[in-house]
Structure 1
Amino acid sequence: MINGFTAYRRQWFVGARTARTDILAGIVVALALIPEAIGFSVIAGVDPRVGLYASIAIAIVISFTGGRPGMISAATAAVAVLVSPLVRDHGVEYLFAATILMGLIQIVAGLLRLDLVMQFVSRSVITGFVNALAILIFMAQWPQLIDVSWQTYAMVAGGLAIIYLLPRVTKAVPSPLVAILILSVISIWYGLPVNTVGDMGKLPEGLPSIVLPNVPLTMETLRIILPYSLTMAAVGLLESLLTAQIVDDMTHSDSDKRQECAGQGSANIAAAFVGGMGGCAMIGQSVINVTSGGRTRLSTFTAGATLLILLAGLGPYVGRMPMPALVAVMIMVSIGTFSWNSIANLRRHPPTSSIVMLTTVVVVVATHDLSLGVLAGVLLSGIFFAGKVQRMFAVRRDVSSDGTRATYFVTGQIFFASVDRFTRSFPNDDPARDILIDVSAAHFWDISGVGALDKIVARLRRDGRSVAIVGYNRASADIVDRFALHDKTGVELGTVPL
């Protein structure tokens, strides 16, 4: 118990220097969150305060309950796209109710260890996910770069120069924060004709308050919100767990994925109770946090707390912040997120891995749906894996000197993808009358493999041949004794035949 508390405390505070870096990183994240939260509110068809209040609540709560220190969670486009039909057809109150149910589902998912599903996501899919998200982040900046004044381009270029050149002089303060502050002062002082945060939507005034969804507690309400809640919970967990893995790789540390699932659920419930929409981990903001030096829970908490302070007390000033400054930061995030070595690896890696990565990128960019891209990548990885294992299989035939006895040596994996080749390896016109099948170098994985063996034995015996099978390993003997119809191992269940 004491060791657990000590470990949790170190996830908040390592030292004064680290705390200072985490706080500054959190401030940078908070400033970059504002226009994104407003934009996501527009996508969902709700007031800007719904996305902003959600970002505050999710960031603060997940800093306590999450399993990945230093990762940023808030309102996201992935969830906003899903709920827009619900808001359009039934109103924002049903959105709050659906968000509460979403959180409960995610907590149950954590208890059921559904985070283990991430074991089936290959490295190629993760790389494709990262590259696609980097492209989407860059594409999202285009509206701020089309039909704008030359001052906008000058400020974006100046912001990028500060971001990349300042670290060569000093790393005492995150360069994205310096870029935002300098460009904001220049824009306000000279009144430059550039877009501002306030142009994205009206910022809320005052603190959020606790509210309960004003919906009837009936089965009809559950019927309406359940499909949305299930989808939001699945997409939110998928994006959060993928982002956690990416932050793990960036920081060379591990995280508690099970706790992250439950933490996301509690954060979304809190968001709904303050009039916010659902959300999940944000890879772009998490990259900003990590590259700015944020490593602990303090950076995540600071992001939420700073956003609350900015909206409650400095709303008019925040509204005058120039969008080119934030565009420069997001372009930096896009460049830093993209896995540039994956381009060179297209020639070095196996073709199947490259195809999986490119498919994930294309589907995500084409649909703007991260979950569809990951699903396509995982399915393709499974198909390629099954094909690869299928080829790890061979049958060799030896015949006695008098030609009356044939021995088939089976090597490899017998399962649903290899049963067709396995069956065709035993011809109908074998002239030998005694058939011995040696499976000591083979493994039967499923009932499809057992069924194929049944089919072979039945066919050979029907043609008047005697058939014997030897060499089952323990696991194969178990599944054959349980499911075979025409042949058993001839021993007690779970033992290896002599």
Structure 2
Amino acid sequence: MAHHLSVSLQRLRAEWAPSIPRELLAGAVATFALIPEVIAFSFVAGVDPSVGLFASFVISLVIAFVGGRPAMVSAAAGSVALVAAPLVQSHGLGYLLAAGLLAGLVQLVFGLLKLGVLMRFVSSSVRTGFVNALAVLIFAAQLPHLQGQGAATWAMLALGLAIIYGLPWLGGVLRLPALSAVPSPLICVVALTLLAQGLGVQLPTVADLGKLPDSLPVFGWPGVPLSLDTLRIILLPALAIAMVGLLESVLTAAVVDEMTDTPSDKNRECAGLGVANIAASLFGGIAGCGMIGQAVGNVKYGGRGRLSTLFAGVFLLILMVALKDWVSRVPVIALVAIMVMVSASTFDWKSLSALVRHPRLSSAVMLATVVVTIATHNLAAGVAVGVLLSGVFFAFKVSRMLAVQVHDDDATGMRTWRVTGQVFFASADAFIEAFDVLGAEGRAVVIDVTHAHFWDITAVAALDKVAERLRHHGCTVQVLGLNEASGVLIDRMAADKG
């Protein structure tokens, strides 16, 4: 009994907090990385900053307990904001909250039905393109804070980046672990805030980004009528929010899996995201999903368990409500420096050299995903194009592996065609064209498919077409070597025709 209890406690600690100080500090880094993005995304969606900030608190709190990927940060996200904006403009916040509620139900059902397996169809090239596009978008989102700014802003940015990158490097060179005990992004925020206040430098602050909340979120049902008309209004936006959120969360979980070299339960993550979005909508917040930049920052600075995710949300609420006066004085440029670091950490720099080494089609898929995502600011569109191209290119490559060789037996006059490879919709025409029907007129013919596989009805129809053409030209046709799966498919086709 004692042994089982000890094992359970060890497992619980590994899942929640392998190192409590590191979890708390990493969560704090993620919080400061959240603030500028969540406020900016709130404006994109056309809602008050408090709507995005409350949502981020609730989502982080809930997903820490019910999500499938420890150390992953989820909050109000730009991809969801882009989808939500038209609904807010046309019908108002109440309908957005109702759409978030419905989106959460869809995501919950998606996870319960274990449909997370569908994400296996997203190739590594698409995932790399997704990550790189997000890194570029994160960096691009910081440029408005830098345009038209004076020398003081640029000097503060340079100092902030020097602190973020320099302190860990200096700690390693001087062998002083104390320099890396506290994450350098937190030191950056404190140092730049004190410096700006001490020197009296006039810089844009967090208070300039928008009105911060001054109370706790309140539970309440979205203020919309329960009617079919409401369902008609919110159905398509809710489905779009659900799909974009699922896609971004599962791909973000895959990135964290790779960074930590640990697996995660994608179906649980889908269901957990649904529960979190339902809760956020009931507390007056916009729906959200996984935040890859903040998740990367969290993991980079030591977050490995659920406690870092939980603390990111709790600390956000503390900063926004209890410490609002202090947070409002933080220079925006300090948060920009953190986001520049997040962008650089998110980007897969090895993928640049891999463009030359990898097959051209794989590189084309990755670049297409990046270009479409950046051009549309729509993650779902970029990934959809990448997945589509991956499928087309895969079908193209497999179709080229089909080979049909002909052999004539001079003694018997029999002609044999030996088919090797995969016969399906993309290779069916090549399969038909490989048979010289006129040259075999009046002869006994064998089609040997021992080393071939017929995958779909298009392939079976192609085999039928070849046999019919040969018989039309006076040939006796024998098909040899059908494997069991191909034979079953052909029998079904014959039964359907009968």
CA shift for structure 1 position 402: 4.3
1:469 aligns with 2:473: no
Moved more, 145-154 or 183-192: 183-192
Q: Aligned partners of 1:282 and 1:119: how far apart in 2?
A: 20
Residue 486 of structure 1 deviates from its aligned partner by 12
1:480 aligns with 2:490: yes
Given that 2:31 and 2:316 are in contact with CA atoms closer than 8 Å, whether structure 1 keeps it comes out as: yes
After TM superposition, the structure 1 = structure 2 runs for residues 349-388 of structure 1, keeping only pairs within 5 Å, are 349-388=358-397
CA drift of 1:193 comes to 1.3
Is there any run of 5+ residues in structure 2 with no aligned partner, and where? 172-178
Partner of residue 26, structure 1: 27
- Separation of aligned partners in 2, 1:487 and 1:140: 59
**Aligned residue pair count:** 485
**Which residue number corresponds to residue 83 of structure 1?**
84
TM superposition shift of 1:192: 1.3
Report the equivalent of 1:152.
153
1:479–1:271 CA distance, 2 compared to 1 (3 A): same
**After superposition, where does 1:416-427 map in structure 2 within 5 Å?**
416-427=425-436
**Secondary structure, aligned partner of 2:203:** coil
Supply the distance in 1 between the matched residues of 2:320 and 2:497 (Cα, whole angstroms): 74
Question: For 2:8 and 2:126, how far apart are their aligned partners in 1?
Answer: 33
SS at match of 1:280: strand
1:340 aligns with one of 349, 354, 357: 349
Q: Give the whole-Å Cα distance in 1 for the aligned partners of 2:8 and 2:454.
A: 43
Asked if 2 retains the 8 angstrom alpha-carbon contact of 1:394 and 1:412, the reply is: yes
1:197 and 1:323 in contact (8 A); partners too: yes
Give the aligned residue type for 1:381: S
TM-score of the superposed pair, with normalisation by structure 1: 0.95
The Cα shift of 1:197 comes to 0.7
The answer (yes or no) to whether the contact 1:399–1:407 under 8 Å persists in 2 is: yes
CA contact (8 A) 1:149 1:194 kept: no
Q: CA contact under 8 A between 1:287 and 1:333: conserved in structure 2?
A: yes
Q: Determine if contact 1:438/1:471 at 8 Å carries over to the other structure.
A: yes
State the secondary structure of the residue aligned to 2:485. Answer: helix
1:4-58 residue CA offsets vs partner (Å, 9 max, x unmatched): 88645521122xxx11001011112112212211111111111111001000000
Q: Secondary structure at the match of 2:439?
A: coil
Runs of 5+ unmatched residues, structure 1: 489-498
| Structure 2 residue aligned with 1:297 | 306
Deviation at 1:67, TM superposition (A): 0.5
Deviation at residue 226 of structure 1 after TM alignment:
0.7
**Partner Cα separation in structure 1 for residue 266 and residue 10 of structure 2:** 19
Structure 1 segments of 4 or more deviating over 4 A? Answer: 1-6, 485-488
Following TM superposition, by how much is the alpha carbon of 1:485 offset from its aligned partner in structure 2, in angstroms?
Answer: 7.2
- Among 456, 461, 465, the alignment partner of 2:466 is 456
Distance 1:350 1:447 in 2: 31
Whether 2:415 is the aligned partner of 1:406: answer yes
| 8 Å CA contact retained: 1:57, 1:270 | yes
Task: Tell me the TM-score normalized by structure 2.
Answer: 0.95
- Quote how far apart the aligned CAs of 1:188 are: 2.1
For 2:356 and 2:231, the matched residues in 1 are separated by 51
Contact 1:149 1:193 in 2 (8 A): no
* Whole-angstrom distance in 2 between the partners of 1:5 and 1:102: 35
Contact 1:236 1:280 in 2 (8 A): yes
Aligned-residue CA RMSD (Å):
1.7
- Partner Cα distance (1:196, 1:149) in 2: 15
1:213 to partner: Cα distance: 0.7
Match for residue 193 of structure 2 among 173, 184, 203: 184
Of 4, 11, 14, the residue aligned with 1:10 is: 14
Q: 2:339 is matched with which residue: 330, 337, 348?
A: 330
Q: CA-to-partner distance for each residue in 1:44-87, whole Å, 9 max, x for gaps?
A: 11111100100000011100010010010000110001111111
Where does residue 227 of structure 1 map in the other structure? Answer: 236
Q: How far, CA to CA, are the matches of 2:12 and 2:269 in structure 1?
A: 14
Distance 1:4 1:372 in 2: 43
Whether 1:255 aligns to 2:264 is yes
Identify the match of residue 266 of structure 1 among 271, 275, 278: 275
How far is the alpha carbon of 1:403 from its aligned partner? 6.4
Which residue of structure 2 aligns with residue 55 of structure 1? 56
- Which residue pairs with 2:174 in the alignment? none
**Identity fraction in percent:** 53
CA contact (8 A) 1:78 1:370 kept: yes
Partner of 2:128: 127
Q: Is the 8 A contact 1:148 1:194 kept in 2?
A: no
In the TM superposition, residue 414 of structure 1 has moved relative to its aligned partner by: 0.6
- What's the CA shift string for 1:194-232, capped at 9, x where partnerless? 111111101010111111111111111111101011000
Contact kept in structure 1, 2:45 and 2:84, CA below 8 Å: yes
In 2, are the aligned partners of 1:458 and 1:486 still within 8 Å (CA)?
A: no
Q: CA deviation at 1:151?
A: 1.1
Give the superposition deviation at 1:316. 1.6
Letter in 2 for 1:462: H
In structure 2, what is the Cα distance between the partners aligned to 1:448 and 1:112? Answer: 31
Q: CA deviation at 1:189?
A: 2.5
Structure 1 residues 237-252: aligned runs within 5 Å: 237-252=246-261
| Contact 2:66-2:269 within 8 A present in 1 as well | yes
Question: In structure 1, how many angstroms separate the alpha carbons of the residues matched to 2:17 and 2:332?
Answer: 33
Q: Which amino acid aligns with 2:58?
A: A
Mapped to 2, the partners of 1:408 and 1:54 lie a distance apart of: 65
Letter in 2 for 1:156: L
Q: Distance in 1 between matches of 2:146 and 2:198?
A: 22
Structure 1 pair 487–42 and aligned structure 2 pair: CA distance change class (3 A): closer
Q: For residue 68 of structure 2, give the secondary structure of its aligned residue in structure 1.
A: coil
Question: 1:407 Cα shift?
Answer: 0.6
Q: Which residue of 1 aligns with 2:317?
A: 308
Deviations 1:302-334 (A, max 9, x none): 000001111221112111110111111111111
* 2:366 match: secondary structure: helix
Trace 1:101-116 onto structure 2 (pairs within 5 A).
101-116=102-117
